[in-house]
């Protein structure tokens, strides 16, 4: 049976992943309204990915016989100051999530929960990829100054991103 401290931390993470999904959905709406369908697509897929992260935690808690406690999710930000601002905020958010995952690992070590340590490894690796992806886009955006023809080209590229549920392929 999962220990209470571990269970509480996992429930907090379900909430954090759900928050992430809605944050990116809100960013997707912002890009749609700004006439950038490719960026909107990229963020919509990000929203879907975060849902799979929340679901992965949800299923794990159930599997361990724990009680899932779904919490309130606060109002999302809706106003941003252009594409660079959105991706700066995405980067900051992913860094925050990396910190939360690291804290979860700390709790699993403290509680001597080896199963949970093993489960969390997927998320540790995922965060490396998430941060790298966002940094790459941010670097390109800064190179083209977040405007002009470069944005148009990048928007077309962002349109090609497709959703893949990586939680199902890397167990
Ligand atoms: Fe679920 Fe983007 O971290």
Task: Parse the chain into domains and list their residue ranges.
Answer: 4-158
Whether the per-residue pLDDT at 108 is higher than 90: the answer is yes
> Which atom of ligand 1 lies closest to the CA of 126?
3
What architecture does CATH give domain 4-158? Answer: Up-down Bundle (1.20)
Ramachandran sector of residue 166 (left: φ over 0; alpha: ψ -120 to 50; beta: rest): alpha
Confidence of residue 60 (pLDDT cuts 50, 70, 90): very high
Give the distance (Å) from ligand 1 centre to CA of residue 23. Answer: 11
- The residue among 21, 151, 37 whose CA lies nearest residue 83 is 151
Q: Are 59 and 112 in contact (CB under 8 A)?
A: no
Q: Flag the least confident range among 3-12, 54-63, 81-90, 161-170.
A: 161-170
Mutual orientation of helices 114-143 and 148-158 as an angle, nearest 10°?
A: 150
| Model pLDDT, residue 146 | 80
Give the distance (Å) from ligand 1 centre to CA of residue 47. Answer: 9
> Which atom of ligand 1 lies closest to the CA of 53?
1
> Which atom of ligand 1 lies closest to the CA of 49?
1
Q: Are 24 and 47 in contact (CB under 8 A)?
A: yes
Whether the per-residue pLDDT at 170 is higher than 60: the answer is no
Whether the per-residue pLDDT at 72 is higher than 80: the answer is yes
Give the distance (Å) from ligand 1 centre to CA of residue 97. Answer: 6
Q: How many CB atoms lie within 10 A of CB 170?
A: 9
What is this structure's pTM? 0.95
What is the spatial distance between Cα 91 and Cα 18, in angstroms, rounded to a whole number? 17
Whether the per-residue pLDDT at 12 is higher than 90: the answer is yes
The binding-site residues of ligand 1, defined as CB within 6 angstroms of any ligand atom, are 17, 20, 50, 53, 94, 97, 130
Residue with the smallest CA separation from ligand 1 atom 1 is 50
> Which atom of ligand 1 lies closest to the CA of 97?
3
Give the distance (Å) from ligand 1 centre to CA of residue 130. Answer: 7
What is the spatial distance between Cα 20 and Cα 120, in angstroms, rounded to a whole number? 18
Confidence of residue 147 (pLDDT cuts 50, 70, 90): confident
């Amino acid at each position: 049976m999962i220990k209470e401290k571990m269970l509480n931390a996992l429930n907090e993470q379900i909430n954090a992943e759900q928050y992430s999904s809605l944050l990116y959905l809100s960013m997707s709406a912002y890009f749609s309204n700004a006439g950038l369908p490719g960026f909107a697509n990229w963020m919509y897929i990000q929203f879907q990915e975060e849902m799979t992260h929340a679901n992965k935690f949800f299923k794990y808690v159930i599997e361990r016989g724990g009680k899932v406690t779904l919490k309130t999710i606060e109002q999302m930000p809706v106003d941003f100051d252009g594409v660079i601002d959105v991706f700066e905020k995405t980067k900051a958010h992913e860094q925050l999530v990396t910190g939360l995952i690291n804290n979860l690992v700390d709790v699993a070590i403290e509680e001597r929960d080896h199963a949970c340590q093993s489960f969390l490894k997927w998320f540790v690796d995922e965060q490396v990829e998430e941060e790298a992806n966002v940094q790459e886009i941010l670097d390109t955006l800064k190179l083209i100054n977040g405007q002009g023809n470069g944005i148009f080209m990048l928007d077309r590229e962002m349109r090609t991103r497709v959703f893949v549920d990586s939680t199902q392929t890397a167990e």
